[in-house]
Structure 1
Amino acid sequence: MAFDTTRPAPGRDPNDAGRGQDPGGRESTAVLDSAHVGDIVGALGTIRRDDTARRRSWAHRLRTLLVIMGPGLIVMVGDNDAGGVATYAQAGQNYGMNLLWTLALLVPVLYVNQEMVVRLGAVSGVGHARLIFERFGRFWGAFSVGDLFLVNALTIVTEFIGVSQALGYFGIPAGVAVPLAAVLLFAVVAGGSFRRWERFLFLLIAVDVVMFPMALLTHPTATATARGLVPQFPGGLDATLLLVIVAVVGTTVAPWQLFFQQSNVVDKRITPRWIRYERADLWIGIAVVMAGAAAIMATAAFAFHGTELFGQFSDAGGVAEGLRQHGGTALGALFAILLLDASLVGANAVALATTYTLGDTLRKRHSLHWKPTEAPWFYIGYGILIALSATVTLLADDHVQGLITQGVQALAGVLLPSATVFLVLLCNDRAVLGPWVNSAKQNIVAGVIVWTLVLLSLALTAATLFPDLTTTQLETGFAAGAALGLAGGTAVALRTRARERAATARVAARLRGSAGPPVGPTPLRRAARRALRDADRELWRTPALDGLERPRLSPLRRAGLLTLRCYLVLAIGLVVVKVVQLAVGS
């Protein structure tokens, strides 16, 4: 049977339904797809489902990390896809290293967002979309995944555009390159083996090493690179620059990453016992993606500095040809190889994120452990998505391809606040995460991230509607928005801290066998509270979702979400307008 959504066993307290169960004990957990329970089968080894051995030596820990490694590394490298390569190259070609600071500021954003989905996936055993539908209902579920499907489909088109441009550099026509890439992508997934799929992705990731000699061939200077770490707005803060900044944010922290990593953590069968290793995997991925983004930006910045092509970005194909002209054949070829590799990794990851989400939404089998005959809808959906995206790429002319490539990253940046809002709400849902819910500090950081993304989106909207706004006026708006966010965040933090202390007291009372009502704030020291929390986490699994009462959205929160939705519709329309204006040169 593919799914098991039975309720907690009779006689058990629904609030404790996830406690004390084996990770495979689906009779009282939220796990839906039976393929998501079992041994961890990674590209570099296997961890048995019943493995409870302590990792005492560094060698043993390293071997464990190598097996666990995958979801964090793949989602981050997939982030440096064709759109990412083009966006970082655009930033370097048009602004030199002056936007390097945006990458540095995105490091905590990447970790905080992706660490939250790691916890959600490992503790609940179900995908991100499934949690949203179950906890907030169909309306908000459709709100969350509707935009995702559209942007993901357009993103996959940009991946095939990248394939076409990369292989076009070597003289292979798009009519041959795109179909070959589509067939390869489907064949890798349709093998019905999680391990083979992950090994293929690791092989593609290894190709990314070409980015380092590529950057070195342009002779970057440490001084110019270091200056780029200082926040600045080259040429003044206007709609054009804001569009590039939002695109950098959108391609570095894309909404599809949230859905992919949570589903991939679930598909790899990672449970709470291995969360710290998955966090390490995530940090490795972040280091790789940041190094790659900086190398691409530096390649374009230093290769085109002082040439007629500086400030004249067209597309990734144009960058490869320009690098050949000003840096030699080897430099252009390395960039084309990197673009091809990034396109294949990105297309695979984004398409899987979409079909994972589709399986969550329709409650169909969705695992790379199933054979195509065992999960036909999962593989049919993946194949249709790849085929449609490849077809659009072949039918679209250069002008339309340019519009899609320029707009999709900015659209991802605009939509990210919405995705992050639901992520934060889920990570504060105690019925789902129990003792794994966000701490007060995590909520503060997450709140700063969401509000910063909203401010960026608002600034882009304002600059598009009122092109005569000055840099000073936009900076004043940022300052006012920051002050407003600080005031609201302080109030929320104080409220969260009070709830956290009360929850710790309940845990202490339960583990001590207290039969009375929850006590007040615990007098235990911090180390003792941490030990109690860790003990509770060892036992916790998310109960069957259909046995839980849905959280009630307050009128204020519901109004806020509706306002965000209406604003996103406006912001998306304005991004499209701005992209069209840039495309026609107005």
Structure 2
Amino acid sequence: MITDVSAQNFPLEEVPYMSATAVEALIRPKSRWTRFAVVAGPGIVVMLADTDAGSIITAAQSGAESGYRLLLLQAVMIPILFVVQELTIRLGIFTGQGHGHAIRQHFGPIWAWISVSTLLLACLGALITELSGIAGVGALIGIPNWLSMTIVIIGLTSMAYSGSYLSVERIALAVGLFECVFLYVAWQAKPDITAALTEALKMPLTNSRYLYLIAANIGAVIMPWMVFYQQSAVAEKGLVAADLPAARWDTAIGSVVTQLIMAAVLVAVAATIGRVDPGHSLDTVQKIVQAITPLLGERTGTLLFALGMIGAALVATIVVTLTAARTLGEIMGYKHSLAQRPQEARWFYGVYTVTLVLGGLLVTSGVDLVKLSVGVQVMNALLLPIVLGFLYTLARRALPEPYRLKGAYAVVVGIMMAMTAGLGLYAGIIGTLT
């Protein structure tokens, strides 16, 4: 279905660029494990960002309202997520371009702006959600919103201005791994496995609220900015054909981990609030924490939730702000790489900084985090036909012949994308209108 590649069998004349980083990639060690250690990063980072503050809150809301009835969806989304993001790897490697740049080249500036408009809308919604999540955690320990936002903005701005792509990637990986505490939280919640498996197969598809949560969960897994970020990150990191197998493993591992975390949050809340007060709706971060503290203790529960939420929100904030700044640079023509100093790429760093500051200001104005988070994920689901449509067409058109999406696999991918986007669109519209 997908052929293996190596530096030896890929004709370098078909690669439209050859940066110094890419040249270094060609002489990377041949050992699988060594190469994986060098290549890994973009896939796991974008997947940890995928399980962002909004996704965690959406999973918690799903567990509180529907118990385990949305658990099966978390497993079904793993292969879909991998298939979608694997195409961004191919496009990043074999075009050497970010997603916005590729759309502009193959469809023209008008379509590029249409696509980027959907991206910026998703980025703005996601950024407010991430920063609101951080503010909510700060409120748990008595830190006012304005102080939380000030610390985050200064910290993330300093990181971008003083680091290269690799240093930012390592920071994102480090903070994102804190999300794994939710696996421990779910284990400590001691869910009834038999009841969970039985309930997971009960899907009330005629219930409009359930459909709304389906749309929210689909939008929480496949987000527009993920497609843009991973393609740009792969291109900026200089990955080449020989890196493709390792990059796929990077993405596959990330796909499993992110959905395990989503499932863990859903299970933890379903086993607590969902069990003692089924159908209960959450409206604050504090109520989510209260769902897990009876089993873990107030201090331990609060600490674990805070670590997981901050890790999720910070890695997603890094990814979202970089994606917005990079993609605007791709279609407007300004320099847009972390490899360039702030003096060389003023617009890139300026957009990055302004985006963070605006997000922080909006959060300090006060917002209903839970409703916003679920609403943003539903919006992501409604945008999927545009995002997946461009991705599928580029994979059919922009890749060199040996790596182009074609044949039976193209049919399978097309059906999978159409069904996912169609379900998200249908569930989002029905759930919103009823």
TM-score by structure 1 length? 0.69
The CA deviation at 1:310 is 5.1
Look up the equivalent residue of 1:136 and give its one-letter code: F
In structure 2, the residue matched to 1:30 is 16
The CA deviation at 1:327 is 4.6
Matched, 1:74 2:53: no
The CA deviation at 1:336 is 2.2
Work out the CA distance in 1 between the residues paired with 2:425 and 2:55. Answer: 23
Q: Choose from 301, 314, 318 the match for 1:331.
A: 301
Q: Could you tell which deviates more after superposition, 151-160 or 182-191?
A: 182-191
In structure 1, the residue matched to 2:21 is 39
Matched, 1:424 2:379: no
Work out the CA distance in 2 between the residues paired with 1:444 and 1:263. Answer: 26
- Which SS does the other structure have where 1:88 is aligned? helix
Residue 163 of structure 1 contacts residue 340 of structure 1 at CA under 8 Å; is this kept in 2?
yes
In structure 2, the residue matched to 1:295 is 264
User: Which of 1 and 2 has higher RCO (CA within 8 Å, sep 6+)?
Assistant: 2
Distance 1:97 1:175, change over 3 A: same
Look up the equivalent residue of 1:112 and give its one-letter code: V
Work out the CA distance in 1 between the residues paired with 2:266 and 2:145. Answer: 26
Work out the CA distance in 2 between the residues paired with 1:423 and 1:117. Answer: 8
Matched, 1:255 2:231: no
Residue 178 of structure 2 contacts residue 311 of structure 2 at CA under 8 Å; is this kept in 1?
yes
The CA deviation at 1:144 is 1.0
Look up the equivalent residue of 1:414 and give its one-letter code: L
For 1:303-314, list aligned pairs within 5 A: 303-308=272-277, 311-314=280-283
Superposed CA offset, 1:393-417 (max 9, x none): 112x344x45432311100011012
Look up the equivalent residue of 2:345 and give its one-letter code: A
- Which SS does the other structure have where 2:162 is aligned? coil
In structure 2, the residue matched to 1:479 is none
In structure 2, the residue matched to 1:435 is 402
Superposed CA offset, 1:112-144 (max 9, x none): 110111000000000011111111112211121
Look up the equivalent residue of 1:345 and give its one-letter code: V
Q: Could you tell which deviates more after superposition, 308-317 or 383-392?
A: 308-317
Work out the CA distance in 1 between the residues paired with 2:26 and 2:429. Answer: 56
- Which SS does the other structure have where 1:427 is aligned? helix
Work out the CA distance in 2 between the residues paired with 1:51 and 1:444. Answer: 36
In structure 2, the residue matched to 1:406 is 374
In structure 2, the residue matched to 1:274 is 243
Matched, 1:385 2:385: no
Work out the CA distance in 1 between the residues paired with 2:24 and 2:196. Answer: 46
The CA deviation at 1:353 is 1.4
Work out the CA distance in 2 between the residues paired with 1:139 and 1:406. Answer: 30
The CA deviation at 1:50 is 4.3
In structure 1, the residue matched to 2:3 is none
Q: Which has the larger radius of gyration?
A: 1
Residue 62 of structure 2 contacts residue 70 of structure 2 at CA under 8 Å; is this kept in 1?
yes
Work out the CA distance in 2 between the residues paired with 1:183 and 1:309. Answer: 41
Work out the CA distance in 2 between the residues paired with 1:320 and 1:415. Answer: 31
Look up the equivalent residue of 1:167 and give its one-letter code: G
Look up the equivalent residue of 1:38 and give its one-letter code: A
Work out the CA distance in 2 between the residues paired with 1:110 and 1:404. Answer: 23
Work out the CA distance in 2 between the residues paired with 1:353 and 1:308. Answer: 40
Equivalenced residues, count: 424
Work out the CA distance in 1 between the residues paired with 2:282 and 2:93. Answer: 42
Residue 42 of structure 2 contacts residue 169 of structure 2 at CA under 8 Å; is this kept in 1?
no
Superposed CA offset, 1:169-219 (max 9, x none): 122111211211121111111114122212211211332231222112211
In structure 2, the residue matched to 1:132 is 103
Q: Could you tell which deviates more after superposition, 238-247 or 320-329?
A: 320-329
In structure 2, the residue matched to 1:190 is 161
Work out the CA distance in 2 between the residues paired with 1:448 and 1:244. Answer: 22
Distance 1:404 1:365, change over 3 A: same
Work out the CA distance in 2 between the residues paired with 1:454 and 1:209. Answer: 28
Work out the CA distance in 2 between the residues paired with 1:228 and 1:118. Answer: 36
The CA deviation at 1:270 is 0.5
Look up the equivalent residue of 1:299 and give its one-letter code: A
Residue 121 of structure 1 contacts residue 127 of structure 1 at CA under 8 Å; is this kept in 2?
yes
Q: Choose from 7, 17, 24 the match for 1:48.
A: 24
Distance 1:440 1:315, change over 3 A: farther
Work out the CA distance in 2 between the residues paired with 1:463 and 1:369. Answer: 45
Matched, 1:118 2:89: yes
- Which SS does the other structure have where 1:428 is aligned? helix
Distance 1:112 1:375, change over 3 A: same
Work out the CA distance in 1 between the residues paired with 2:199 and 2:78. Answer: 16
Work out the CA distance in 2 between the residues paired with 1:458 and 1:286. Answer: 22
Look up the equivalent residue of 2:60 and give its one-letter code: A
Work out the CA distance in 1 between the residues paired with 2:382 and 2:11. Answer: 42
Q: Could you tell which deviates more after superposition, 62-71 or 298-307?
A: 298-307
The CA deviation at 1:20 is 4.4
Work out the CA distance in 1 between the residues paired with 2:425 and 2:332. Answer: 34
Superposed CA offset, 1:469-506 (max 9, x none): xxxxxxxxxxxxxxxxxxxxxxxxxxxxxxxxxxxxxx
Superposed CA offset, 1:287-322 (max 9, x none): 210111111111111122442475222233320134
Work out the CA distance in 1 between the residues paired with 2:256 and 2:35. Answer: 20
Matched, 1:448 2:419: no
In structure 2, the residue matched to 1:363 is 333
Residue 44 of structure 2 contacts residue 250 of structure 2 at CA under 8 Å; is this kept in 1?
yes
Q: Choose from 440, 459, 465 the match for 2:426.
A: 459
- Which SS does the other structure have where 1:48 is aligned? helix
Gaps spanning 5+ residues in structure 1: where?
A: 1-18, 23-27, 41-46, 465-574, 579-586
Work out the CA distance in 1 between the residues paired with 2:15 and 2:401. Answer: 13
Work out the CA distance in 1 between the residues paired with 2:171 and 2:428. Answer: 41
Residue 19 of structure 2 contacts residue 238 of structure 2 at CA under 8 Å; is this kept in 1?
yes
Q: Percent identity?
A: 27
The CA deviation at 1:271 is 1.2
Work out the CA distance in 1 between the residues paired with 2:395 and 2:15. Answer: 17
Look up the equivalent residue of 2:387 and give its one-letter code: A
The CA deviation at 1:323 is 2.6
Distance 1:49 1:457, change over 3 A: closer
Work out the CA distance in 2 between the residues paired with 1:207 and 1:412. Answer: 25
Work out the CA distance in 2 between the residues paired with 1:39 and 1:454. Answer: 36
In structure 1, the residue matched to 2:4 is none
- Which SS does the other structure have where 2:340 is aligned? coil
Work out the CA distance in 2 between the residues paired with 1:189 and 1:52. Answer: 26
The CA deviation at 1:30 is 3.5
Residue 169 of structure 1 contacts residue 321 of structure 1 at CA under 8 Å; is this kept in 2?
no
In structure 2, the residue matched to 1:151 is 122
Work out the CA distance in 1 between the residues paired with 2:341 and 2:426. Answer: 48
